[in-house]
Chain A
């Protein structure tokens, strides 16, 4: 990657587009999306299923190719890097945390073994003591006790511990950006708050940059500095949390806010004129 320029955004996305199918069956999953992300901020990307937010995440993780547009990481376009060997340096800078931690962990390995394998991917050599220190540090950062967790298998951990271990694993390679794709959606409310607190601490203590992808505007409100709203592949609104949630300008954002279940009431019962995406194909 090129040198770091302080005024340059960490991540800049320009006219990013992903088209599936062709001609009659064409679906513009992500349609001409542009935004920037600064170092040390948490940006939430909010939208319903089918809005294109996960496709956007997969493009940013370089797990799928963009149809057109650019992804500038520290000023360098990474969309043209092809092949896993060439992408490895990029994958060290951008790490994903996904919804199902059970699927991301080899059931037959101990947490220690999974984390040591991850550490090897960095290409750096560590002595046994250094290795142990690295693993312990990463686990402590997410609030886990290394002595307790390292020898255990994935099936011996609770859902919350496993989700934290996955964040610890992502941290081991010292990434610049964490991309969390609905990574807290399946958790119980109490555990969800705990994981969101971990993300907030990573930002505050380590200056970590986080892209937090969710359909839950309540979580976005709690964890994010800025909120981007996606609807049918387009980014319809961007701004600080107070701007977007306090004074939503796009009709879809307003509907999203009205549909969020709140303790005791459905917000305001305002009939929506927008056609839901959720219809038969």
Chain B
């Protein structure tokens, strides 16, 4: 899957909010790509734009989507991903499973709805059997199909919705903050479920969106870091986590709290300020007002992309370090401080 130069904005009375501004990425077969960033960085808008599930005021200004040998879709002129792709080709796993379920119908009815939308010939009994088999195959009790949503715990509900939203073996699963409302044990259960579904071939590509970098590093093959509507760094999970280039990635990693006895002896400084107003983003590099390494040029000119498409950081400071032959990578996981590493 190739996503090329997606621009998406929300129409508001006070002007367009450019939530996603020129995002390109590729998602390979059998790959889990993580997208991480603060609230408001555009990661959920990207999910909505690609899965045709945004609110009515979401507009796509530009952008192309190519999926396997299917024709390239111009997201702007076609009004987004074709509706008939939903669930079948691209499926969205939403943040709060409870909100996507009808409280007065049984889980099984929901499963039937999903299947019926793409295969109207299937009888209800057959659909339920299919859904039940899938549950059992993934280690969940088939009886949940007879339950109402309120009878399930939050973690179970999220797992059940995950299974149902992938009943049609979608080519791409876009998971938008699926673990945010869960406690750590349920988070882990959901991650293990997704991994099992990949192994069994029920899903073949996952775009996993979250603000939890620690969690993401346990599931994603590659990670893209988003800030103010743009991808500021992308690379393999190992590279991004252990040798982050972009100052924003470093800050995100530095602020990740772990039950580490060393960490509690320190005072970790969070990033000052907040993410910019996307009606009027800062000139030059959008991160410069909060960046500890900001230079004069950062306030004036858009930063250069350092590295190839699949592994780069977009930053003036990274360029400067490279020009001087200095290393940018390395971060002390405990203190969040940059440490010098031999290049």
Contacts and interface: CB of A to CB of B under 8 A. Distances in A.
Given A48-B185, A280-B151, A280-B153, A263 B333 contact: yes
Nearest to A48: B183
Interface string B153-165: 1111000000000
Given A191-B270, A197-B267, A221 B143 contact: no
B258 A263 contact: yes
A281 B189 contact: no
Interface in B110-155: 141, 143-144, 147, 151-155
A246 interface: yes
A257 B260 CA distance: 11
A192 B252 CA distance: 11
Given A263-B241, A263-B253, A190 B271 contact: yes
Given A215-B184, A280-B143, A263 B152 contact: no
Interface stretch (B27-35, B69-77, B212-220, B322-330): B212-220
Nearest to B215: A261
B183 A218 contact: no
Given A158-B274, A193-B269, A263-B213, A48 B186 contact: yes
Nearest to B212: A261
Given A161-B274, A189-B211, A276-B185, A261 B255 contact: no
Contacts of A276: 155, 185-186, 189
Contact of A261 (B143, B218, B242, B253): B218
B259 A218 contact: yes
B56 interface: no
Contacts of B241: 263-264
Q: How many of chain B's residues touch chain A, expressed as a range?
A: 35 or more
Contact of B151 (A190, A192, A215, A281): A281
A241 interface: yes
Interface residues of A, number: 47
A200 B270 CA distance: 14
B257 A216 contact: yes
Given A189-B211, A242-B261, A278-B185, 16 more contacts: A48-B186, A159-B274, A189-B212, A190-B251, A191-B274, A192-B270, A197-B269, A215-B183, A216-B184, A221-B264, A222-B268, A259-B185, A260-B259, A276-B185, A276-B189, A279-B153
24 contacts: A49-B182, A159-B274, A188-B211, A189-B252, A189-B255, A189-B256, A190-B251, A190-B255, A196-B257, A215-B183, A218-B259, A222-B264, A259-B185, A259-B188, A263-B253, A263-B333, A264-B217, A264-B218, A264-B241, A266-B218, A278-B183, A279-B156, A280-B144, A281-B151
